[in-house]
């Protein structure tokens, strides 16, 4: 969505980049946001992702899927750094270091 330019937050849920949903919100819907930040914090490489995928999906050429998953992982980080407000960027970069 970010690369396609349709990431303005008008057509779906909450715009986390503008702070409409915060990590510290006690509501259940903030769990997904916390999970994605945790995912970014793990700093997975393609080998890690292949290892995580293999027990839940019987896929031939799993390395190709791991590369695809890693590209998505990197795109999520790029999106957060390109689009989110400064407070959220500080949170993301602090876990990425």
Q: What's the average pLDDT block by block, 10 residues per block, for the chain (97 residues)?
A: 58 70 76 81 88 85 90 86 80 63
> From CA 94, how far away is CA 67, in angstroms rounded?
25
Residue 59 has a pLDDT of 81
Q: What is the DSSP letter of 13?
A: S
Residue 50 has a pLDDT of 92
Residue 8 has a pLDDT of 61
Residue 7 has a pLDDT of 59
Residue 97 has a pLDDT of 46
Other C-beta atoms within 10 Å of 26: how many?
6
Q: How many helices (H) and strands (E) does the chain have?
A: 4, 0
Does the model's pTM come out above 0.85?
no
Residue 22 has a pLDDT of 74
């Amino acid at each position: 969505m970010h690369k396609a330019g349709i990431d303005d937050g008008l057509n779906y849920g909450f715009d986390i980049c503008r702070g409409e949903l915060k990590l510290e919100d006690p509501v259940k819907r903030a769990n997904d946001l916390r999970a994605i930040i945790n995912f970014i914090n793990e700093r997975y490489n393609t080998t890690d992702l292949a290892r995580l995928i293999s027990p839940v999906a019987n896929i031939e050429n799993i390395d190709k899927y791991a590369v695809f998953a890693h590209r998505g992982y990197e795109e999520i980080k790029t999106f957060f750094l390109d689009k989110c407000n400064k407070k959220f960027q500080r949170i993301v970069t602090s876990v990425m270091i």
